[in-house]
Amino acid sequence: MDPVIAWHTEHVYFNQLLGLLHKQVDLFHGGGLPNYELVLDIITYLREYSDKVHHPREDVAFARLAKRCPDLKLALDRLGQEHRVIAHAGETLGRLIQAVIGGAVIPRAEVEVAAATYLVYYGNHIAKEEEDVLTRAAKVLTAEDWDAVRNAVPVMHDPLFGRETAERYRELRRQIALEA
């Protein structure tokens, strides 16, 4: 598959997940009872796949793109920094949701702030890459660059959107299908 199309496709998937997460957070904000297990599955998937596979590959693409397009260097550096912020925000939100599932009483505002931070950073991050990075990467990165991006991390089967959905994510996959 064309690497830019693959990159964009993953962004589409991640946006679907962020949309589902946003609905659960809205339910929580309105005083309802969200599906905490679904929320945790979304965060876990994004931490396990996006933070460990997608973002490291992007970091390599950013470094190579910055060499070829120095005018993008500052924006690319910021996007790389956002990978770390998103990972930290996801870890924080995941920890809070696990505590709630375990019966802990967590102030509503603390969960909402963590969820909002995660959703806003992640959504804006994807939009910035789609607007400013993918088109340029498609134009200037070489086959050698794309090989380096692909080889940045060991090949990992996508446990949610791959050919076979992992058992853990079957309910999440069902929810995504219901949203479509």
Structurally, the chain folds into a number of domains equal to 1
Q: Helices 170-179 and 36-45 sit at what angle, rounded to 10 degrees?
A: 100
Kindly write down the DSSP assignment for every residue of 10-55, as one continuous string: HHHHHHHHHHHHHHHHHHHHTT----HHHHHHHHHHIIIIIIIIIH
Give the pLDDT confidence of 12-36 residue by residue, as tens digits. 999 999 999 999 999 999 999 999 9
Domain with 99, as residue range(s), is 3-179
Query: pTM surpassing 0.75?
Result: yes
Position 163 scores a pLDDT of 87
Q: What is the CATH number of the domain that holds 55?
A: 1.20.120.520
Residue range 132-160: mean pLDDT, rounded: 95
141 contacts 14 by C-beta, under 8 angstroms: no
Position 11 scores a pLDDT of 98
